[in-house]
């Protein structure tokens, strides 16, 4: 196995220089990924070693590249006709590169049968499969269990009514309940809003995103979305969070250390933080839970469909690339990655990488169907961008009428539908 971190130019140069370094009967498989090195090693060395042992005629060259760098480097390689053999994609890249015909169609491949039925529609565009998903990540609410116990709170709230009562109890004891960190991209307010607005009953429907994209669902006519705005008002009134402090807090740094230091009792964040929290042993006692619901009686988790592998249409070693994809779609291999990356399996009956002692209520809720899908990459980019901005703007001025916001979102969707 070789691991390299390089720009497009040096990557092409190395391909030329090392092309004759292997025996003629040995294939060098170039894999470009934003996981596998740096701070996200994620058990890649062990998995690659296992793959090369299973396929001694294939040598893997892992080309580690930050995701943001792939935005320009990979399209340039597509245009040059020299793409990697395998490239890591997410739903956003999938929509661009698959939509432009730059990825190989994987319809009929054996790995597809390994996936959960609910996951299969997200493996491509329309009827075409373009990638093998590696993980389901997601978002919920972390709780500092010691703080909640000391405040006399015995169980995590399932509904917004229960949540606001917890907020009032904490506030009365001088404890800040939570922060919806939105300084860097409006992420915190948006994620909480998504958990509320994408839930349309106690057991969420699975077709909400499809209805948005088809125009069947109108934001201005959907009471569940309106309830999400009302929930924000209710939480602000209950002093669950300070809007101005939340809007000025970075979700990827300050919010995390604030929770770890015990300065807030609860924090909406991603499941990927479980391992860092455990490694730092801060907070000493914490757990992960679903978001409280405004449209039902059970907590809701937010699924984030993670990255996976695609084969570029002009890849040199397609047969070896397909073996790579099939290998990762086997539970015994994939679970090594899931355990290291603290995420859930998209495979049917696949092993989860979440620690049960930390995330039991989160896992149970998802297994029972109390989950909604994070819409990024699945709805138009213009709509997503406006939702991020508008939710934070509403948080900062919750007295405003939210109907103009909903009408604007409907107008964006109408414009997108007119293009089709």
Task: Give the CATH number for residue 123.
Answer: 3.40.190.10
Question: Is 112 among the domain residues?
Answer: yes
Same domain for 147 and 272: yes
**223-237 and 160-172 helices, crossing angle to 10°:** 10
SS3 assignment, position 310: strand
Residues 219 and 72 in one domain: no
pLDDT for 17 equals 40
Pair (51, 75) in one structural domain: yes
Q: Domain residues for 64?
A: 2-131+307-348
Residues 382 and 253 occupy one common structural domain: yes
42 and 122: one domain? yes
Q: CA nearest 292: which of 188, 176, 202, 163? A: 163
Please tell me the pTM assigned to this model: 0.89
Is the domain of 210 the same as that of 312? no
**What pLDDT score was predicted for residue 12?**
38
Give the ranges where 19-124 is alpha helix by DSSP (H).
44-54, 67-80, 91-93, 99
Separation between Cα atoms, residue 271 and residue 247, nearest integer Å: 22
397 & 257 share domain: yes
Residue 113 inside a domain? The answer is: yes
Q: Is residue 288 part of a domain?
A: yes
**Residue 354 domain flag:** no
- Rounded to whole angstroms, the Cα distance separating 48 from 100 reads 30
Q: What tokens does 333 get?
A: 């291999």
Q: What is the pLDDT of residues 327-342, one digit of tens each?
A: 999 999 999 999 999 9
Checking if the pLDDT of 169 tops 50, the result is: yes
Regarding whether 343 and 364 lie in a shared domain, the answer is: no
Are 290 and 144 contained in the same domain?
Answer: yes
Q: How would you classify the pairing of strands 301-305 and 58-64?
A: unpaired
Domain-embedded: residue 262: yes
Overall average pLDDT of the 366-376 stretch: 95
What pLDDT sits at residue 24? 58
Q: Is the pLDDT of residue 68 over 70?
A: yes
Residue 353 lies in a domain: no
Q: Does 319 fall in a domain?
A: yes
252 and 327 share a domain? no
Which of 285, 315, 348 is the last residue before a domain boundary?
A: 348
Measured CA to CA, the distance from residue 46 to residue 392 in angstroms comes to: 42
Distance CA 309, CA 322 (A): 10
- Residue 92 inside a domain? The answer is yes
Length of the chain: 420
Boundary residue ending a domain (348, 377, 405): 348
Task: Rounding to the nearest 10 degrees, give the CA dihedral for residues 280, 291, 394, 262.
Answer: -30
- Tell me the pLDDT tens digit for each residue of 186-243: 999 999 999 999 999 999 999 999 999 999 999 999 999 999 999 999 999 999 999 9
Instruction: Let me know whether 148 and 68 are in one domain.
Output: no
Mark whether 240 and 124 lie in a shared domain: no
pLDDT at 315 over 50: yes
pLDDT tens digits along 91-145: 999 999 999 999 999 999 999 999 999 899 999 999 999 999 999 999 999 999 9
Query: Residue 395 and residue 225: Cα distance in Å, rounded?
Result: 15
Q: Are 142 and 259 in contact (CB under 8 A)?
A: yes
- The tokens describing 370, both together, are 């109390």
Domain total in the chain? 2
């Amino acid at each position: 196995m070789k691991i390299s971190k390089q720009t497009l130019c040096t990557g092409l140069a190395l391909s030329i220089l090392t092309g004759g370094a292997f025996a003629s009967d040995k294939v060098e498989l170039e894999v470009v990924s934003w996981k596998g090195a740096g701070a996200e090693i994620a058990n890649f060395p062990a998995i690659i070693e296992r793959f090369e042992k299973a396929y001694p005629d294939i040598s893997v060259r892992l080309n580690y590249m930050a995701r943001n760098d792939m935005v320009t480097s990979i399209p340039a390689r597509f245009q040059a006709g020299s793409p990697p053999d395998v490239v890591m994609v997410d739903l956003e890249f999938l929509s661009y590169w698959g939509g432009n015909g730059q990825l190989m169609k994987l319809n009929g491949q054996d790995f597809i049968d390994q996936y959960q039925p609910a996951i299969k529609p997200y493996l491509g565009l329309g009827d075409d499969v373009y990638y093998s998903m590696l993980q389901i990540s997601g978002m919920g609410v972390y709780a500092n269990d010691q703080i909640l116990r000391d405040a006399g709170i015995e169980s995590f709230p399932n509904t917004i009514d229960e949540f606001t009562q917890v907020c009032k109890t904490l506030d009365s004891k001088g404890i800040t309940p939570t922060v919806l960190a939105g300084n860097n991209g409006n992420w915190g307010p948006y994620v909480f809003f998504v958990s509320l607005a994408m839930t349309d009953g106690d057991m969420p429907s699975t077709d909400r995103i499809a209805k948005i994209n088809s125009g069947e669902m109108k934001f201005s006519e959907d009471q569940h979305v309106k309830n999400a705005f009302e929930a924000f008002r209710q939480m602000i009134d209950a002093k669950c969070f300070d809007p101005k402090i939340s809007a000025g807090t970075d979700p990827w740094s300050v919010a995390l250390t604030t929770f770890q230091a015990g300065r807030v009792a609860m924090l909406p964040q991603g499941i990927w933080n479980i391992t860092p929290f455990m490694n730092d042993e801060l907070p000493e006692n914490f757990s992960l839970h679903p978001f409280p619901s405004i449209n039902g009686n059970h907590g809701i988790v937010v699924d984030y469909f993670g990255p996976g592998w695609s084969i570029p249409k002009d890849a040199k070693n397609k047969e070896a690339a397909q073996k790579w994809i099939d290998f990762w779609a086997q539970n015994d291999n994939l679970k090594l990655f899931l355990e290291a990356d603290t995420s859930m399996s998209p495979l049917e009956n696949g092993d989860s990488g979440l620690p049960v002692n930390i995330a039991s209520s989160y896992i149970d809720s998802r297994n029972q169907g109390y989950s909604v899908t994070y819409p990024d990459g699945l709805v138009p980019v213009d709509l997503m961008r406006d939702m991020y901005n508008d939710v934070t703007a509403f948080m900062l001025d919750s007295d405003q009428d939210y109907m103009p916001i909903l009408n604007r979102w409907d107008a964006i969707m109408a414009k997108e539908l007119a293009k089709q």
